[in-house]
Amino acid sequence: MRTIAIALSLALGSTSCVVVVAGAAAAVGYTRYQENEAYQDYEADLEEVWDAALVALNKLNYGVSTAAPLGPTEGELELEDLWIRAEALPNDTTRVRVRVGTFKTDDNQRRAGLILEEIADEL
């Protein structure tokens, strides 16, 4: 990952590129899609990821309370056409699942992916 970041910054001559790549380092792997659900794993504990998710949702104008409840191993929230769940995994890793809309459409997948990207940016 560091090699890619260094190569990109040298090739583009921009420190902003390094910031983008470094910000994405908190995510483990890629966003995955299964039916009408997108999910991604983050290298951070549940509470940190949950807080980042709530901030991300507010930035994307979903208007959630930053005091949304969080259990000892998971947090779940439903708003109109949005469902989001964060669950603790071993080794301080947290999986976030997002479902937007009822049906699998390109737009619903895009919106779910944007939420996961915004969470990564908040971490």
In contact, 113 and 94? CB cutoff 8 Å? no
CA atoms of 74 and 96, how far apart (whole Å): 10
* pLDDT at residue 12, rounded to an integer: 41
Q: Is the pLDDT of residue 74 over 60?
A: yes
* pLDDT at residue 73, rounded to an integer: 95
Mean pLDDT for the stretch of residues 49-75: 92
| Domain spans in the chain, listed from the N-terminal domain onward | 26-122
Q: Is the pLDDT of residue 63 over 60?
A: yes
Mean pLDDT for the stretch of residues 85-111: 92
* pLDDT at residue 11, rounded to an integer: 41
In contact, 42 and 96? CB cutoff 8 Å? yes
In contact, 2 and 64? CB cutoff 8 Å? no
Per-residue model confidence as pLDDT tens digits over 22-46: 444 456 666 776 677 899 999 999 9
Superfamily of structural domain 26-122: Alpha-D-phosphohexomutase, C-terminal domain (3.30.310.50)
**Per-chain mean pLDDT for the chain:** 79
Supply the pTM of this predicted model: 0.72
Query: Who wins on pLDDT, 26 or 110?
Result: 110
Mean pLDDT for the stretch of residues 2-8: 36
Mean pLDDT for the stretch of residues 6-35: 48
